Amino acid sequence: MHIIGAGRVGVALSEAADAHGQPCTLWSRGMDLGSLKAGEGPIVVATRNNDLADVLAALPPSRHSDVVFVQNGMLRPWLGQAGVAEATRGLLFFAVASRGAPIQPGPPSPFVGPHAAAVVAFLTAIAVPAEVVSTAAFTNLEHEKLLWNSCFGLLCQAYNAPVGTIVRDHSSELAELVHELDAVARLELEVSVTVPDLIAALSAYSLTISEYQGAVKEWPWRNGWYVHVAAKYNRLLPVHARLCALAGHDATTGIVASPIA
């Protein structure tokens, strides 16, 4: 297994592979990715979203079909533009507290695509739960995770509170925000999960990590995607806009608002 990205996730996966005797090569920025020749197995890219274009450009074109994307956020538009829409994808349902910290497993991480089985076998061998899922199931989970990152990141920052407090003290606003963003997402995604089930799942997960405090991050890949789709279909996002103002972010661009003099 090849892993690109020597951050929290990449290092944790590499160290777990070493501990379980699984072959794994960790590649960091600055290393010659052009030396990754065809036929050497999946390439898990564990970099930040904004580094994806540079990573893909540094890899031999013959290896693009072997790349496995595990980033949070809405990757679909970028994957299509980059010509890798059919690449293997995964959602990592585990936590790594800091660089060098061990993996804290969660529910099985879902994977879909040509190398899904190989990645799942590797993760299972290093004691990280994972499973191959259908395209429809992956879309539902992708939708759920994007909502969790976008909704709780915004609410946590708006109220300077951890996710558990948001569930307990701001449940009505959470429900309003989920309804609003879910309706926009369904304009672009074929999602079958119901909104009540989504709210229940998002809340239940948050209560298992109740002290975690999210924040508005990676705007173009998270909250900004909903804003873009809403504008495309001439939809308004009043709940999202109000919470952005409370969190100190411009509701259109995500830019942090300048403090009042």
Looking at residue 39, what is its pLDDT? Answer: 67
Looking at residue 38, what is its pLDDT? Answer: 66
Mean pLDDT of 148-158: 97
Residue 243 has pLDDT above 80, yes or no: yes
Q: Distance of CA 219 to CAs 53, 89, 124, 204, 228, Å?
A: 17, 20, 32, 25, 11
- What CATH number was assigned to the domain covering residues 2-133? 3.40.50.720
Looking at residue 5, what is its pLDDT? Answer: 95
pLDDT band of residue 261 (cuts 50, 70, 90) is very low
Q: What is the DSSP string of 17-50?
A: HHHTT---EEE-TTS-GGG--TTS--EEE-S-GG
Tokens of 162: 């951890």
Buried b (16+ CB within 10 A) or exposed e, 17-49: beeeebebebbeeeeebeebeeeeebbbbbbeb
pTM of the model: 0.92
Query: Using CB atoms within 10 A of its CB, is residue 215 exposed (0-12), middle (13-18) or buried (19+)?
Result: exposed
Same fold, 2-133 and 136-247: no
Residue 135 has pLDDT above 90, yes or no: yes
Mean pLDDT of 54-63: 94
Q: How far is CA 197 from the centre of its chain?
A: 20
Mean pLDDT of 208-237: 95
Q: Residue ranges per domain, the chain?
A: 2-133, 136-247
Looking at residue 35, what is its pLDDT? Answer: 87
Q: Mean pLDDT across the chain, nearest whole number?
A: 94
Residue 78 has pLDDT above 80, yes or no: yes
- What CATH number was assigned to the domain covering residues 136-247? 1.10.1040.10
